[in-house]
Amino acid sequence: QQQVKQSPQSLIVQKGGISIINCAYENTAFDYFPWYQQFPGKGPALLIAIRPDVSEKKEGRFTISFNKSAKQFSLHIMDSQPGDSATYFCAAPNSGYSTLTFGKGTMLLVSP
């Protein structure tokens, strides 16, 4: 099963700062890499996703940067807000897309 290694485990950022979360994967065969956001007591929700035919995807304050040769992708949250405080998970599909393998999550706290 594809492994996804996520770091850091937790992150504290001041309001207005940039939050950066990194993920590394093993299998180069697949091409869909989503980031999910989860608030306490809720299910995860898709935040942004990228296919490796592009090196970067931006949606509002959220950007995924993708480095195919290094097998790494990262989430950047610009102008971080207290409402961004949540746990973020990167993920990657397995063979056949029959499941997603999730990273272990990053707990982000944006201080006012």
Partner 1 sequence: GEEVAQTPKHLVRGEGQKAKLYCAPIKGHSYVFWYQQVLKNEFKFLISFQNENVFDETGMPKERFSAKCLPNSPCSLEIQATKLEDSAVYFCASSQSLGLAGINEQFFGPGTRLTVL
First to last CA, the chain: 40
Task: For partner 1, give the closer residue by CB, 3 or 14.
Answer: 3
CA distance 23 to 46: 16
Does residue number 42 form part of the binding site for partner 1 (CB under 8 A)?
yes
Strands 33-38 vs 45-50: parallel, antiparallel or unpaired: antiparallel
Q: What is the dihedral angle through the alpha carbons of 26, 70, 37, 100, rounded to the nearest 10 degrees?
A: -20
48 binding partner 1? (CB under 8 A):
no
Q: Is 2 in the site for partner 1 (CB under 8 A)?
A: no
Q: Which of 104, 108, 110, 111 binds partner 1 (CB under 8 A)?
A: 104
* Tokens read off for 104: 């272990």
Q: Does 75 bind partner 1 (CB under 8 A)?
A: no
Q: Of the ranges 21-29, 33-41, 58-66, 71-79, which one interacts with partner 1 (CB under 8 A)?
A: 33-41
Q: Could you say which of 50, 105, 108, 110 contacts partner 1 (CB under 8 A)? A: 105
